[in-house]
Structure 1
């Protein structure tokens, strides 16, 4: 292998492992020696993209494609960059050109499907994914993406099955060294519900503990993030809740399962969602302690959450720009507002633009948040874990949803949800987005709520 080839291989490894600074230095060295090496330029464009240097990435992609129009991966990556900037027409043209060059490209069909799904051309997205799967039935990403489209439409039978294509549990599989439950009889067996990345996923899908017990499991345990451990101990049917990091060296489990596999294993359909509420409860002593903290002032109590985890892929769309976005609600009489915001945005509650009691500094975990919610009349939140917590507690919750990449679990075109019937109300952005119409609708509803 030549020195140049070895350097390119090393740069590719660095890029793949996320060591962007080292990869950039090496790629510049390579291009100094071989300025027309388009593969190195394509990798540099991808590196700029991952660094968030969008203008430089675009210029580099255009240079690469001018030199090598048939470099498929570079064209696909460029299409993804354009899509993240919501330049949909340009991104579509980019993907269609890739398919013109290679109609058998599974990745091109998959990426085009993602593009269509992101702005609600779901029938076209579904066809793209199915074409990709016809070319390669084992393509996990296309199956996973198809699942999102199907689940959003309420087509649960195929949707849950396709969702099983996700592959993010390898580390947990190794750590647990247990067989993953595939629907075997559970009579007399012990099962561990494993970890999902999102707190909201854990709250929403750990409701199946009762179904596992009803299926005959003698013991049901949950492995969860530490902030959830105290809360999830109160789930019906759960025997123990283990915080990640406390160790899972228990030889007595027979199986483990991800929470998101439970709807599939129990053949959940829209009319058979286990929607009995509440399925979570707050600790009475903690409820009493927070009641004293909230005080006995007049007015209906409303909790607010305006931002989610910034690491979530669509957080820029689902989170409000700032607490000030909710300021029109403060003009309504008969209401007291309380901040439940933790993490990003929490600092805004320290100097709020309207009367707001900041509870976040004293919230230690989700059990605390549950106890606060038990003392409130309503929670208004963006699409984050608190929405699932409030719904699981059976308390009124209004969820503000983005138009762009609305999460599949809220289905399409509804202002309610069968996952939290009778308590969760959905306020959706209009086509094209924008929070002003949402806040106006919430203000109108809140005025009725305050005077009811």
Structure 2
């Protein structure tokens, strides 16, 4: 064998030191040996040094334009989170060789990371065309099909991947994720454990197992899985974030809040928040006397309402100005919170402040525990003019019950938290003497069709913003809803609200095994689903409670 063949053989055998020495010897003989430069770069990638790999592969490309070189450059750039440059490298590789499966595959992985699932699907389908016997390609395709809701196709692709390679740990991991999405939790657990049996150091499988176990309430088993994922990869922000949700759900707030900061890391696989490029710093708990602070929007409408309770506390720290950036739908409601000086609805026109913060970082800075939640209610208010308007839209007499049975479909757990339609609430119609008011956005036709025999006052389509919602809820006797923003509107107003909670993936803020909420003391009551996907028993419990509540309410009149 010549020297290059010796180097490649050592490289393939995993003898990186020997391979590196041989490649460098080749370069001492021929400084323009592009293959040796490229493969030295590959060694640097294998060692976890992508910047060094980038330099070497770029040098190789100056001597020869090569699709494989360009693909590995894309990998090196991607490892440094240079996503745009990485994508450009993969696409350039495909210009050199449109049939290079590795370039299509790496491009698909990058597109998944940058949340472009439809494009990723096309890339992975191209890989399966080029390499129909590649278990990895079918597994990747199945994963992205599952993320886009094409569950039957996803399952077929993943089963095919495992048929091609039964010992493919990643395939079992992806299959476990899909089985969880289709509510086959026992089978999902088995698939994830099989992945770990095949690869005991598979951090992603530990994270996914922890996520599954946490979702079905087996927190004591889930926690070690997250811890193991972090032992294997201390920089694994998805696992750190998921661990924080478990700690929050189990009431271990002091441990949870610092880990919860992972939610806006640039390395989160499903990041929905971006750190702003302001010239002034993020608030880390520094003294606020005489300082201005701006709160930026994050997560859902309900989160913004729930954590508005901290604004009076910030003002109490001596801040000269508290500004809140929010969606226009929230502006008029948040303007009623004590301590708020400015409400800004254009996130591109935020004036200079001393500090900025995300609202859900405030509990960490204030050292919030379950026992020290700022729970004074109400902390939002209905505007008098809005109250007058909606008073004329509501029934003048009787007990008035607001209903919301669906949240936004884009919510990660909406499949479990929302009801199929209003007909699921039919047992409530048996309670006499009540007037039901639909506050459901965009569901007017469904309401009329699914609630036959039960008149509803339809207000959802007329609501313009959350100040309208607050003005209606303030004049209702009770609101019954799934876990969506209206629960926080009612709670923040201090108005009675019964929240229906799913068995799978119940949100951390409602804690565990409680029928009340320390976030909204005396206002919010919780009705928990007892069986996955089955609301019947829960709704019967609500109907029973409603009869008692209605009888008590009438006796007071």
TM range (shorter): over 0.9
Do the aligned partners of 2:402 and 2:476 also contact (CA within 8 Å) in 1? yes
- My pick for the range that moved more, 253-262 or 65-74, is 65-74
In structure 2, the partner of 1:311 is 410
Q: Among residues 167, 178, 182, which one is paired with 1:85 in the alignment? A: 182
CA distance in 2, matches of 1:137, 1:161: 14
Show the 5 A alignment for 1:289-300. Answer: 289-296=389-396, 298-300=397-399
* Matched position secondary structure for 1:179: coil
Runs of 4+, deviation exceeding 6 Å: none
Do the aligned partners of 2:322 and 2:339 also contact (CA within 8 Å) in 1? yes
Matched, 1:258 2:358: yes
Matched, 1:284 2:378: no
In structure 2, the partner of 1:248 is 349
Q: Among residues 488, 493, 506, which one is paired with 1:406 in the alignment? A: 506
* Matched position secondary structure for 1:165: helix
- Report deviation, 1:49: 2.4
TM score, norm. by length of structure 1? 0.93
CA distance in 2, matches of 1:84, 1:140: 22
Structure 1 residues 256, 394: CA separation in 2 closer, same or farther (over 3 Å shift)?
same
Structure 1 residues 139, 301: CA separation in 2 closer, same or farther (over 3 Å shift)?
same
Do the aligned partners of 2:134 and 2:164 also contact (CA within 8 Å) in 1? no
List runs of 5+ in structure 1 lacking aligned partners: none
- My pick for the range that moved more, 68-77 or 133-142, is 68-77
Residues 114-147 of structure 1 show CA distances to partners (whole Å, capped at 9, x for unaligned) of 1111111110001111122222222211111111
In structure 2, the partner of 1:341 is 440
Residues 287-335 of structure 1 show CA distances to partners (whole Å, capped at 9, x for unaligned) of 0111122142x31111111110111111111111111112222222221
Structure 1 residues 32, 357: CA separation in 2 closer, same or farther (over 3 Å shift)?
closer
In structure 1, the partner of 2:299 is 197
- Report deviation, 1:449: 2.0
More helix by share: 2
Cα root mean square deviation, aligned:
2.1
- My pick for the range that moved more, 416-425 or 87-96, is 87-96
Residues 163-204 of structure 1 show CA distances to partners (whole Å, capped at 9, x for unaligned) of 111126896433544311111111111001111120000000
CA distance in 1, matches of 2:413, 2:118: 26
List runs of 5+ in structure 2 lacking aligned partners: 1-66, 69-96, 266-270, 553-557
Matched, 1:332 2:431: yes
Give the number of the structure with larger relative contact order, counting CA–CA contacts within 8 Å between residues 6 or more apart.
Answer: 1
In structure 2, the partner of 1:269 is 369
Do the aligned partners of 2:134 and 2:161 also contact (CA within 8 Å) in 1? no
Residues 344-370 of structure 1 show CA distances to partners (whole Å, capped at 9, x for unaligned) of x34323454211100122211000111
* Matched position secondary structure for 2:298: coil
Count, aligned residues: 448
Matched, 1:376 2:476: yes
Q: Among residues 431, 442, 447, which one is paired with 2:547 in the alignment? A: 447
In structure 1, the partner of 2:203 is 106
